Structure 1
């Protein structure tokens, strides 16, 4: 047995499970190291934590990865924030059924009426209707969480109807984090650190510069055809502390797994009520990704076969995954310093499937599949088009033929169209296959006439529109704009011009692409780099935002 920072763990080769072949496991690890420079892995059972590391922290040196090596965990941060919120709920400080305005009365969602009610549960379950946000992670930012809420989140539009549709967004958790600050009077980073320290996660933090200087962190890598290049250093973004910014390792994250499997207890000490853990692991809304069927509070849920609780973080050259199977009382944490993560399922399932099913009262019941098309879709009315809410210039269209329903996706910037038949699977609901990719399909709320307000195809929500590509006067948007993109540490210039067809064209580096007017938004366009909103005062354009947060200033 090994000991690190008062955490005892075993080497993973000591894992005592049925038919565990150490040689085969090591072969899986070595195969995975063709796709990532380094990884760290922990298996959590009732008997203890079993961990290992493999590969290198960076392609520029030979430092090895160990179980204690820190990784950027991206969106896995949201699980910690959700636990903190639920701890405050247990303390009576927060109520997830209360409106956001109860706690932040001077904040307003940009395009909702003041009496429209978005609750803390809507934020926890990603059903507020906000789109996802990405800052310029490699560019320096001094925006505090409070400034982020009032100056940036207040400008983010709700893009899908609140309450009913899952639309994954870091904005939800950033606002939750600020609400935690409001009700406790403590900075979010300090508040979360106190909670994490209390459950034995003392090495989890936001201190990038210390991690870089002491080389305790596995560096993120961009990957292409099994070759790796080092990602730039991540900069401090306090506004995104609640959603994406933590550094952690598999030993600390094993405490989270133990907390869930122990129904709020670790080593017999209670940190959360079992009812709270049950609520977090209860399906609240359907999702249509391949990583889950439903979402609870801060957790994805797979409800077919063995119910699985999971969350992942993907971005900035790193990958993180937490997988739990309550029915088998086992969990796995995997961290890697590249986003080429295809083999992680083979590793996690190779381990998890070897544990026997045990009696566990925590097992939740998943949603039943959607009704068959013959029964349900015949009573649906569809809008002429549905426009992608993620800022991409893509529209979806539903149509019915003699042999069933079809979905057509049209790239409005290139004119390319692709079609897939809608198929109903009695276990998984609707899906379609477009460009050889299988995508789950869901339908939003209907009005009194049966008109469907939104479609969800895979990870993307689409909102109803009556027409596409409205005519706009593009001359006022011409010029050069300077700023930072999400994946660059270099200041970049985007040039906008108008072609003979009076379409707005962007030039970025050596790439030219068309912008498509979003039918229901003024001064806003969809593009391959996201939703572009031009900013004007007294009729004069002075800048733009990309996907609500990335700010560019007009220079010419």
Structure 2
């Protein structure tokens, strides 16, 4: 038996870059900043340009919008406050926001902080109301949320919920006496040395940053304006970061690695007025609580196609025999990013892109890392062929709650096809479905290839919701109202 020579860190880095370049040629993403973190060292790859109109090379310090990965920063800030004894994640929201209101009074009374961090409120999740750039933006958006519909019962069908993080962000503001941005900076960013993670355009524009791009047919167009809505900040609308900073974050989550804080030793106060003296609560909190499973979510967001996943404290969990992967990702207009770490294997993956098809690129590269570094391979998925009556039963229109948009489901030559509104280019993105079980399918082809969907039925067996990865879309009924209460395009996660 011939012994094999272990792959060197240099060889792995070279193959990672080679695969990143190959995929960039395939997906034509304008710019990417990538990180592969291993016990043997960190490997960074930067390719492409900041803007197709005013190109500068992407560097390790180029700032990208990270979108919903921000939710894990909001969540970690809650954990830091809990470590300080200032709140408990199982407390009700009204413990800190006594005037908190929702359309359903029973939900408003019972909703806990942990419910908001795990997408279990059941109320309209994608409420993107711009309440201005003032420090009262979060307080004001909660007034809008009070009028939003309750889509499913509290802790009922699981569905991604941005608005829950507005509530968590407002709790942070009340408990700390600071704005959400200042509290996250003091309690998380400064202790971790993430000094290029910023929230406001007037700060971001003083550094090298990537402009977002929308794919219109086969051409990339710069996204204008640079969209940042402060009221949605805790869910991911405003936070922007670099691959270097995200690597610092990954190392903290995996290993508890902290940056030194000279201002803490000197007893100085950082921006926002919080006292920086004394040890950071991040040094002592139990990080494993972040990835302790809270509940199953159905389709896995970042697992292999067709797998089922769980949610921890804001992290998506995929448990394999040889590794646990905890992950998040983010989409804003023109930016898509993906981020995961394996705490037990001490491996991390970071992918920041400035393109509306960035997730497609990231997923392929992520699968390469899972296979080549962690030794994970996709499971075989069963083939299932629904009958004609089954397909016709699933066909129809499904409402994008809060927007005058619908997702169509049609039978085309014996194949069920999604017609997803394309909010950037107009028209629809049509996606054929390959069924793996009754009411469960995987999208085949295009930028959404590999995403899984479920059709959910009510107690009477009638199709009630279309679930595309993490979001529920109610089926349109004859008696349904045509005006529905604010959700984003399908891929905004």
Q: TM-score surpassing 0.5?
A: yes
**Map of 2:64 onto structure 1:** 71
TM-superposed deviation, 1:239: 1.1
More helix by share: 2
**Map of 2:275 onto structure 1:** none
Q: Please, which of 191, 198, 201 is the counterpart of residue 194 of structure 2?
A: 201
| Closer/same/farther in 2, CA of residues 158 and 219 from structure 1, 3 Å limit | same
CA distance in 2, matches of 1:356, 1:432: 27
Secondary structure in 1 aligned to 2:208? coil
Tell me if 1:154 matches 2:152.
no
Q: Please, which of 303, 308, 318 is the counterpart of residue 319 of structure 2?
A: 303
| Closer/same/farther in 2, CA of residues 55 and 274 from structure 1, 3 Å limit | same
Secondary structure in 1 aligned to 2:368? helix
Tell me if 1:183 matches 2:175.
yes
**Map of 1:457 onto structure 2:** 467
Deviations 1:385-435 (A, max 9, x none): 996463554699xxxxxxxxx999999xxxxxx99897549xxxx623688
Instruction: Say which structure, 1 or 2, has more relative contact order (CA 8 Å, 6+ apart).
Output: 2
| Closer/same/farther in 2, CA of residues 93 and 445 from structure 1, 3 Å limit | farther
TM-superposed deviation, 1:246: 0.3
CA distance in 1, matches of 2:19, 2:133: 43
Tell me if 1:339 matches 2:356.
yes
Secondary structure in 1 aligned to 2:34? strand
TM-superposed deviation, 1:453: 10
CA distance in 1, matches of 2:419, 2:13: 48
| Closer/same/farther in 2, CA of residues 87 and 187 from structure 1, 3 Å limit | same
Secondary structure in 2 aligned to 1:258? helix
Deviations 1:335-378 (A, max 9, x none): 011021222233233334333679xxxxxxxxxxxxxxxxxxxx
TM-superposed deviation, 1:151: 2.6
Contact kept, 8 Å, 1:386 with 1:462, in 2: the verdict is no
Q: Please, which of 286, 298, 302 is the counterpart of residue 291 of structure 1?
A: 302
| Closer/same/farther in 2, CA of residues 352 and 457 from structure 1, 3 Å limit | closer
Tell me if 1:123 matches 2:138.
no
| Closer/same/farther in 2, CA of residues 236 and 433 from structure 1, 3 Å limit | closer
Contact kept, 8 Å, 1:19 with 1:354, in 2: the verdict is no
Tell me if 1:432 matches 2:441.
yes
Moved over 6 A (4+): 267-270, 406-411, 418-422, 434-438, 450-453
Secondary structure in 2 aligned to 1:75? helix
TM-superposed deviation, 1:37: 0.9
**Map of 2:220 onto structure 1:** 228
**Map of 2:383 onto structure 1:** none
| Closer/same/farther in 2, CA of residues 200 and 453 from structure 1, 3 Å limit | farther
| Closer/same/farther in 2, CA of residues 322 and 439 from structure 1, 3 Å limit | closer
**Map of 1:278 onto structure 2:** 289
Deviations 1:31-76 (A, max 9, x none): 4155211110112233443223111111112311001110011111
CA distance in 2, matches of 1:161, 1:444: 15
TM-superposed deviation, 1:110: 1.7
**Map of 2:346 onto structure 1:** 329
Contact kept, 8 Å, 2:294 with 2:311, in 1: the verdict is yes
TM-superposed deviation, 1:319: 1.1
TM-superposed deviation, 1:304: 4.4
Secondary structure in 1 aligned to 2:144? helix
- Write out aligned runs for 1:12-23 (5 A): 16-17=8-9, 20=12, 22=14
Q: Please, which of 469, 480, 486 is the counterpart of residue 478 of structure 2?
A: 469
Deviations 1:122-153 (A, max 9, x none): 1111010123325378x975583344334322
CA distance in 1, matches of 2:348, 2:442: 32
TM, length-normalised to structure 2: 0.72
- Write out aligned runs for 1:415-426 (5 A): 423-424=436-437
| Closer/same/farther in 2, CA of residues 433 and 44 from structure 1, 3 Å limit | closer
TM-superposed deviation, 1:29: 1.8
| Closer/same/farther in 2, CA of residues 410 and 351 from structure 1, 3 Å limit | closer
CA distance in 2, matches of 1:445, 1:93: 41
Tell me if 1:81 matches 2:64.
no
CA distance in 2, matches of 1:175, 1:24: 40
Contact kept, 8 Å, 1:130 with 1:157, in 2: the verdict is yes
Q: How many aligned positions are there?
A: 420
- Write out aligned runs for 1:255-270 (5 A): 255-262=248-255, 264-266=256-258
TM-superposed deviation, 1:22: 1.9
CA distance in 2, matches of 1:442, 1:169: 19
From the CA coordinates, give the structure whose radius of gyration is larger. 1
Contact kept, 8 Å, 1:144 with 1:238, in 2: the verdict is no
TM, length-normalised to structure 1: 0.65
Unaligned 5+ runs, structure 2: 1-6, 261-279, 304-308, 377-392, 410-414, 421-430, 489-493
- Write out aligned runs for 1:348-363 (5 A): 348-355=366-373
**Map of 1:540 onto structure 2:** none
Secondary structure in 2 aligned to 1:331? strand
Deviations 1:135-186 (A, max 9, x none): 378x975583344334322222221111132211211111100001111111
Contact kept, 8 Å, 1:279 with 1:297, in 2: the verdict is yes
CA distance in 1, matches of 2:40, 2:254: 12
TM-superposed deviation, 1:221: 0.7
Q: Please, which of 79, 82, 92 is the counterpart of residue 99 of structure 1?
A: 92
